[in-house]
Amino acid sequence: MNIEQSCISSDGCDVLLIGYEEWENLGLRSIAAFLAERGVKVTIESCDRASREDILTAIRRQDPRIIGFSLIFQRMLYEFAELVAYLRENGITAHFTMGGHFPSIEYRKTLESTPGLDSVVRGEGEETMAELCQQIALRGSLQQIKGLAYRKDGEIMTTLPRPLIRKLDDLPFPLRSDKAVNHRGLGLRSILASRGCYYDCSFCSIHQFYSESPGPRRRSRSPLNVVSEMEQLFHEQNARIFIFEDDDFAMKAPRQKQWVEDFARELKKKKIADKILWRISCRVDEIDAELLKRMMETGLMSVYIGIESGNDQGLMTYNKRYSVEDIHRMLDILHEVKIPFEFGFMILNPDSTFATIRADVDFLKKIGRTGHAVVHFTKMLPYAGTPIAHELEKEDRLKGTIAAPDYDYRDPRLNLLQLFFTQAFHYRNFENNGLVERLRHAKFDGIVLNKFFGHEFDTGSYIQAIQGLTRASNETCLENMSMAIRFMEQRKESEILDDWQFLDRLVSEENELDARVTSALDYLMLHPPCRTTRQGPR
């Protein structure tokens, strides 16, 4: 059980917030800080680390007037609905509200599928939650609260959209857990420098989440404000590694480049630039060599790039607004400046054909052969509110459930290819103990050792060994994919099913290779190459 507290007196709390927190849920924690600043007594319950019995016990002990659920993953809708039902069945009568992308976009479906829920906070939650606290305390009307959907006399009512918060610097820093995540004794923190995104990728719900609220599509904190939070975490919680969770760490327009320059300058001014590492996520068409070098001088350790496809048809389907040629140009820059990178990739989408998938595999072979980044891939899912979901609905191709929307391919054999991909690569690609996550973690470990413990460990040999294991994993994975694609493309559905034992052998080969690489990787991380002289950390 993991209860975080802020302004809590012995007689309990006013608001208890419940959310998933593999990392800190910065949206939930920003709301908590905003409420606490206004004298509201707040508790945060991390539901991934507590059973529903633990949550019930915490609620009974704290006796909040409002319980807020943060639904950050659409697939967890039914799980949250079951939790709400369980709490109601056990006599909890507090006002239940829920926020997040899916509840904001599909507030009606959220309320209909979760009968015990009283309201949905639509869009940004700080001001709406503060006003909800006031009205619940005064037993007032919910109608005047902007950004809310709620039940009244058996009907679902909505209020006017709430304008977006324009000055993010006016918000308090998020409420942080006392138990900081750490790596080799160094504090690791997630952080947000902005909200929103300028782009409209077909598979992303960010644009839709903000679209109904008046205000600019993207807003940034000032460089000084961001660095001040980093400095505070540096001194108070030994934070040395920062993961920027921005939807897009924008670096394309002149004012965005200037923001990065000012940010780097502030890090140096605060004298922490040479004592930290940080990571960002950005687009292919935002990569600039000189700007990356400037950022690396102040601790940038890696970038996560949303590549998504290795063929131009796929990029058009995703509405990425760049080409495969642009991707290769970007990769050349990353190799030139020697910045580590990871990438997102969706090999299956509603327009996929065997030709596009073959092109994607060929692309992945080119970028995966060095072992600098681990190859992985997923299926594009039609999340609520996204352009691709609307298009599938118009074509009568949208299927699945509210929590797990899906679709079939135009070539039915691709459903069988997807099944093979799931059998062969699901654990590798998606599980926390799968090979992709382990290789990424080892790569991250090499970066950390090189920065903070380079005098103690032979980090060059360590990183090269990790790249070798990554290369081996990439080669086997992609060769098994190629063989499965060739096998299926040459056969009818019935023939594929009749000869499925061939695919079973490929699955076995993949599992055996994954096991060998995992074993070698585990040994390597437990025994990284050391230098002759060992000293304390820098």
Domains and CATH numbers, the chain: 3-158 (3.40.50.280), 180-400 (3.20.20.70), 411-538 (no CATH)
How far apart, in whole angstroms, are the C-alpha atoms of residue 410 and residue 61? 54
Q: Is the dihedral of CA 75, 321, 305, 260 positive or negative?
A: negative
Q: Rounded to two decimals, what is the model's pTM?
A: 0.94
What is the distance between the terminal CA atoms of the chain, rounded to a whole angstrom?
A: 35
- Label each residue of 243-285 as H, E or C: EECCCCCCCCCHHHHHHHHHHHHHHHHCCCHHHCEEEEEECHH
Banded pLDDT at 11 (limits 50, 70, 90):
low
In the prediction, which pLDDT does 490 show?
A: 96
Mean pLDDT of 397-416: 96
How far apart, in whole angstroms, are the C-alpha atoms of residue 284 and residue 324? 10
Q: Is 433 left (phi over 0), alpha (psi -120 to 50) or beta?
A: alpha
Banded pLDDT at 12 (limits 50, 70, 90):
confident
In the prediction, which pLDDT does 536 show?
A: 47
How far apart, in whole angstroms, are the C-alpha atoms of residue 63 and residue 271? 45
In the prediction, which pLDDT does 207 show?
A: 87
Banded pLDDT at 531 (limits 50, 70, 90):
confident
User: How far are the Cα atoms of 303, 483, 514 from residue 505, in angstroms, in the given order?
Assistant: 36, 11, 14
User: How far are the Cα atoms of 88, 185, 198 from residue 448, in angstroms, in the given order?
Assistant: 46, 11, 32
In the prediction, which pLDDT does 532 show?
A: 65
Mean pLDDT of 420-428: 98
Q: How far is CA 224 from the centre of its chain?
A: 25
Banded pLDDT at 535 (limits 50, 70, 90):
very low
Q: What is the DSSP letter of 152?
A: E
In the prediction, which pLDDT does 4 show?
A: 44
Question: pLDDT tens digits for 306-317?
Answer: 999 999 999 999
- Label each residue of 59-100 as H, E or C: HHHHCCCEEEEECCCHHHHHHHHHHHHHHHHCCCCCEEEEEC
Whether pLDDT at 447 is above 50: yes
Average pLDDT, the chain: 94
Share of the chain above pLDDT 90, in %: 92
Output the six-digit token pair for 407. Answer: 């679709």
In the prediction, which pLDDT does 212 show?
A: 87
Mean pLDDT of 366-376: 96
Whether pLDDT at 87 is above 90: yes
Rg over CA atoms, the chain: 24
In the prediction, which pLDDT does 9 show?
A: 39
Mean pLDDT of 380-386: 95
Lowest-confidence segment of 171-185, 281-295, 472-486 by average pLDDT: 171-185
